Amino acid sequence: MPVEKIPGWVERLLLPAFNEMKGDIKAINTRIDSLDEKIDIRIDSLDKKIDIRIDSLDVKINARIDSLDGKIDSLRNETIERIDSINERIDSLRNETIERIDSTNERIDSLRNETIERIDSTNERIDSLRNETKTEINSVRSEINGVRNEITSLRTEMNVRFDSLEKHIPVLEKITALEIKIADLEKRLAAA
């Protein structure tokens, strides 16, 4: 609605309220501007304090970082020294181990050679004993064959004697029977 058509009674009631509100709004704006200036001053003050604290913290942090850098460098150098020391110990142990392995290999080679010599010597003794045993066995076989032949000869002789005894036994039986008869005759003759 256009302002010309607003009734007068509304204008009379509302216009003072509007004017009063207008004054209140101006007062509020003035207060806001005053507060805005105070806030700006405070913010600037806080910014300066924060900048000072930031600069102070920056100096402290840089000093701490420099200190930590020094400690890190010291630790790095100490670590490098320890690693170098460990590497030297590893090299020393590696060389010592290689020497021990070489010494052990030499002992193994020596023992292998000694064992081979002993085996060869034992094989020679075994061959010598085998030959001696074969000779002894052949000798024993020859003796056994001789004894066997002798036994065969004795058996043949005994068979001949037994055959002879078998022929003599009937004669001996006859002689014994005759002796008994003669004794019987002598008893009869003596009794007569």
Which uninterrupted H or E stretch holds 158? helix 8-191
Q: Is 183's pLDDT higher than 80?
A: yes
Fill in the DSSP letter of residue 160: H
Q: Is 118's pLDDT higher than 70?
A: yes
Q: Is 1's pLDDT higher than 70?
A: no
- Dihedral sign from CA coordinates of 142, 148, 151, 152: negative
- Dihedral sign from CA coordinates of 138, 141, 143, 149: negative
pLDDT of residue 3: 54
pLDDT of residue 32: 82
Q: Is 109's pLDDT higher than 90?
A: yes
Domains of the chain, residue spans: 3-180+184-191
Stronger pLDDT, 43 or 130, i.e. the higher one: 130
Q: Is 28's pLDDT higher than 90?
A: no
**Amino acid sitting at position 53:** R
